[in-house]
Chains A and B, each alone.
Chain A
Amino acid sequence: MKRKLLATLVGTALLGMVSNLALAQTAKAGAISGDKVIIGVMNDMAGLYSDIGGPGSVEAARMAVQDFGGKVLGKPIEILSADHQNKPDVGATKAREWYDTEGVDMIVDVPTSSVAISVGKVAAEKKRVFIDTGGATKALTNEECNPYMVHYAYDTYALANGTGKAIVQQGGKTWFFITADYAFGKALEADTAAVVKANGGEVKGVVRHPLNASDFSSFMLQAQASKAQIVGLANAGGDTINSVKAANEFGLTKNQSLAGLLLFITDIHSLGLKTAQGMMLTSAWYWDANDETRKFSRRFFEKIKRMPTFDQAAVYSAVTTYLKAIKAVGTDDADKVMADLKKTKINDMFAKNGYIRQDGRMMHDMYLMQVKTPQESKYPWDYYKLKATIPAEQAFQSLALSTCPMIKK
């Protein structure tokens, strides 16, 4: 017994010395906190959004680190990953743990708008960098904006503006919305409804379903009864797939048209072209756009066996951009890195002449796409044809309309 106590005491003392040593080292290093740059990829690893980001985003982050040479300013770069299970409380707790005790310098990805908002709050409180690529709500650069958050890939405004506007202009004047009942769905619905009305259209009705509702037949009947020309799907992932399936089954597509407001390439793959053909969608990026994107995508495909979604490509780009900023300012200090991020142009396979605006919005072109017919598709994953390129300034909300407190008017 005595011996055990002694051993414990000695052990504790030793531990104390070691951690003191570690602390001393951190203090000396200065430029790079903890002597390494740690990037945390947080997303839905196993649930309904896990094919959009998930392990694929972690792989994309790893590829970015590998292409960067594995080191920045001579210090190693480490990638951590975590599953937020689409729950805001889980995401916030993990973010706090990462920033506080694991020395994470930057968190990336974080789909599911409600989780993105809560992680953004933690980033602001801890004064660390958070680059969101997976979340959609435009609130991230409006009422929820903060100096440490960047919204990288897309937002609900851009989706609404891209798909919504194109469809109204083609004559789809009356709309019915099937909306996922949480921050993202409501934001997407509100933004699209605003675009529809601004272009002379009308919203006939809305039904809001719980996240992850597997049966959509009832909502299809309601959509049919509304007699609206366009049925807008303000949901994502598995919910959108099941909506489209149900719409086909109930013959909704005979008299009405579907508008998927957020579709990822994995959704199209899962639906199959026969079901998905002709749908219009807005995308931040497409794997088959040019040689650069194809090169990245083929490498990605080797490992994940699926073509990258625009979220995964954005993770690659965001990690690269972040590492370049550290290299440029010579430290991983969040304030200095953020200052550099907001003044440097982004040119890579994800974005051309992209830049990060004062409110944290990464400005880049968006693309209006149409899903090919089975006849038009020549090889696996050949799914989209480009209908229009939407220039960054038109794609995203203008600063004049911003409600972000950081923007002085």
Chain B
Amino acid sequence: MEIFGVPIQAFLGQLLLGLVNGSFYAMLSLGLAVIFGLLNIINFSHGALYMMGAYVAFLALDLLGLGFWWSLALAPLIVGGFGIIIERLLMRWIYKLDHLYGLLLTFGLALIIEGVYRYFFGVSGQPYPVPDALRGATDLGFMILPNYRAFVVLASLIVCLGTWYVIERTRLGAYLRAGTENPQLVQAFGVNVPLMVTLTFGFGVALAAIGGVLAAPVIQINPLMGSNIIIVVFAVVVIGGMGSILGSILTGLGLGVIEGLAKVYYAEASSTVVFVIMAIVLMVRPAGLFGKEK
């Protein structure tokens, strides 16, 4: 049996792979959505922070001998802490200004961070092994799925849904959302809004770092890995609707799958297809698929 000239097995395999890539998109765009939704900052340094996460994993292993699981816990803390410092030192001055300023600031930061890593590590990249527990592959009949990739999908789904639940369904999430709507009022209720904003930024950055650690075993760790992925991730956020949490998760997964299929049918266009979709969505629904028109 074939689907448009591709055997169904191959088709299913590609769908699954698309889902794996989609999980990376989802996790990164989720971080962007949280930061944009609550802080109104278009964080262009997200890719660089994702790259930093991967490097924390590499350095932890190389210098300290700490494995993957340690890194998964350490990277969000270290990189998130770095994010908090940035927020305190730089970001908080520009909240009142136009989006453009945040965009330029974070873009500049991304270039600086990348430049520093390039200076120290070069661009050839660093090797990072798949953790022992997840080594090997499972034969699903229609494809051989490396166990690690299956783990990535699971881990990212847990992180994404957990985040969505906290923001949309808990009291803390309610504070956060209220804080963005009307900070003065929420402050009047005795909530420390600036602290909340700082921690939210730190959390968004931590999500990027987790993404980086998860990516380390499957793609080459190099200073440019962030800028390679960030453009696509922004397209995901735009298609999903700026600031929409659920939107970014679903679109991330969906676009991963579409990109995967493009690789089967016409691989040459696989890096463009996401942007074609973005253009169409912007024409039909300028606020994105899940965004609210204001």
Chain A: residues with CB nearer than 8 A to chain B?
46-48, 50-51, 54, 181, 207-210, 212-215, 217-219, 221-222, 224-225, 237-238, 241-242, 245-246, 249-251, 266-267, 269-272, 275, 306
Q: Let me know if B263 is at the binding interface, CB within 8 A.
A: yes
Separation of A237 and B224 alpha carbons in the complex (Å): 13
Q: Is B94 an interface residue (CB 8 A)?
A: no
Complex Cα distance, B125 from A214, in Å, reads 12
B112 contacts A by Cβ under 8 Å = no
Chain B nearest CB from A188 CB (Å) reads: 16
Known: A47-B123, A245-B218. A209 touches B270 (CB 8 A): yes
Are the C-beta atoms of B17 and A48 separated by less than 8 Å? Answer: no
B143 CB contact (under 8 Å) in A208, A221, A272: A221
Known contacts A215-B21, A225-B7, A242-B219; is A51 also within 8 Å of B137 by CB?
Answer: no
Across the interface, do B219 and A249 meet the contact criterion of CB distance under 8 Å?
no
Q: Which residues of A contact B222 (CB under 8 A)?
A: 238
* Known A218-B260, A221-B13, A246-B218; 14 more pairs at CB < 8 Å: A50-B122, A207-B267, A208-B268, A209-B267, A213-B270, A225-B7, A225-B10, A237-B124, A241-B124, A245-B218, A245-B219, A251-B144, A271-B127, A306-B122
Chain B residues proximal to chain A, CB less than 8 Å: 7, 9-10, 13-14, 17-18, 20-21, 118, 122-127, 130, 137, 143-144, 146, 148-149, 218-220, 222, 224-225, 228-229, 260, 263-264, 267-268, 270-272
Q: Please, which residue of chain A has its CB at the minimum distance from the CB of B232?
A: A214
- The CA of A80 and the CA of B192, in the complex, are separated in Å by 55
Q: In the complex, what residues of B have CB within 8 A of residue A215's CB?
A: 21, 218-219
User: Are the C-beta atoms of A51 and B122 separated by less than 8 Å?
Assistant: yes
How far does the Cβ of B189 sit from chain A's closest Cβ, in whole Å? 46
B268, A217: Cβ atoms under 8 Å?
no
Cross-chain contact B124 with A266 (CB below 8 angstroms): yes
Q: Which of A51, A218, A271 contacts B264 (CB 8 A)?
A: A218
- State the CA gap A242–B7 with chains docked (Å): 26
A47-B224 in contact given A219-B263, A221-B10, A221-B13 (Cβ < 8 Å): yes
A241 and B220 in contact, given A181-B268, A217-B20, A222-B264 (Cβ under 8 angstroms): yes
Instruction: A306 to B260: give the CA distance in the assembly, Å.
Output: 36
Distance in Å from the Cβ of B137 to the closest Cβ of chain A? 5
With both chains docked as a complex, state the minimum distance between the C-beta of B262 and any C-beta of chain A, in angstroms: 9
Contact A270 B124 (CB under 8 A): yes
Do B122 and A217 touch across chains, with their CB atoms under 8 A apart? Answer: no
Select B220's contact among A50, A181, A207, A270, beta carbons within 8 Å. Answer: A270
Contact of A221 among B17, B219, B220, B228 (CB under 8 A): B17
Q: Which of B13, B148, B271 contacts A249 (CB 8 A)?
A: B148
| Inter-chain contacts of B218 with A (CB < 8 A) | 215, 217, 245-246, 249
B144 near A250 (CB under 8 angstroms)?
Answer: yes
Measured CA separation A306–B20 after assembly (Å) = 34
Q: Which residues of A contact B148 (CB under 8 A)?
A: 249
Whether the Cβ atoms of B125 and A270 lie closer than 8 Å is yes
Asked whether, in the complex, the Cβ of A51 is within 8 Å of the Cβ of B123, the reply is yes
Task: Give the docked Cα–Cα distance between A213 and B269 (Å).
Answer: 11
Q: Which of B14, B20, B127 has the most CB of A within 10 A?
A: B127
A208 and B225 alpha carbons, distance in the complex (Å): 21
Q: Give 29 pairs: A residue, B residue, CB < 8 Å, sorted on A.
A: A47-B224, A48-B224, A50-B122, A210-B268, A210-B270, A213-B270, A213-B271, A214-B219, A217-B17, A217-B20, A217-B21, A217-B149, A217-B218, A218-B14, A218-B260, A219-B263, A221-B14, A221-B143, A238-B123, A238-B125, A242-B220, A250-B144, A250-B146, A251-B137, A251-B146, A266-B124, A270-B126, A271-B127, A275-B127
